[in-house]
Amino acid sequence: MADPSALYRLLYVSENRIAGDVAHVAREIEAILNASRRNNDALGITGALIFNCGFFAQVLEGPRDAVERIFAVIRNDTRHSKIQVMSAAEVEDREFPNWTMAYIGRSPSWEKALGWIRNDTHFAPDERCDRLFKIVMEMAYDSELSPDRTFAAPGKS
């Protein structure tokens, strides 16, 4: 049986359903991030959220039961749809130990990098997943170096 306290990482992509003008979208993203930081810290969850108007991609890592609990809430959120789990597995270490939820907003490189998820059926699911995870990681690390593009809140230290 799966160990509910084992360190677990889940990566999914979804389609944005937040409509309206830029200010409204920004307020909704802010609300998501506020909820994430409040709840994730209490649950021992860290991760990263990427948003590019059309898509979300999110990494959640923490104790398996906590990740599954918060993901059950997230997947019922009507601000996104077509949730597609790219990977979900026990892991040895956290990749985002310092962020309750790193946020990476719209950027040209992200738009370009994500194009293949939509358009390229050539890659096997595992390969797509590895590539996506790599992109999320790279963007999270990049954003640490250029904080003007992002809003990365520290987690527990």
Ligand X SMILES: Cc1cc2nc3c(=O)[nH]c(=O)nc-3n(C[C@H](O)[C@H](O)[C@H](O)COP(=O)(O)O)c2cc1C
Interaction between residue 70 and ligand X (CB under 6 A) = yes
- Show the site string, 12-51: x = touches ligand X by CB under 6 A, - = not: --------------------x--xx-xxx--------x--
Look up residue 38 and give its two tokens.
């409040």
| Cβ atoms 45, 100 nearer than 8 A | yes
Among 60, 57, 74, residue whose Cα is nearest residue 116: 57
Distance of closest approach, residue 32 Cβ to ligand X, in angstroms? 4
One-character DSSP codes across 95-132:
S-TTEEEEEE---HHHHHHHHHHHH---S-HHHHHHHH
Look up residue 132 and give its two tokens.
């996506």
Distance of closest approach, residue 66 Cβ to ligand X, in angstroms? 10
Instruction: Pick from 10, 11, 101, 132 the residue near ligand X by CB under 6 A.
Output: 101
**Distance separating the N- and C-terminal Cα atoms of the chain:** 32
**From 71-79, 90-98, 124-132, 136-144, span contacting ligand X (CB under 6 A):** 71-79
Instruction: Pick from 9, 64, 80, 94 the residue near ligand X by CB under 6 A.
Output: 80
- What residues line the site for ligand X (CB under 6 A)? 32, 35-36, 38-40, 49, 56, 58, 70, 73-74, 77, 79-80, 101
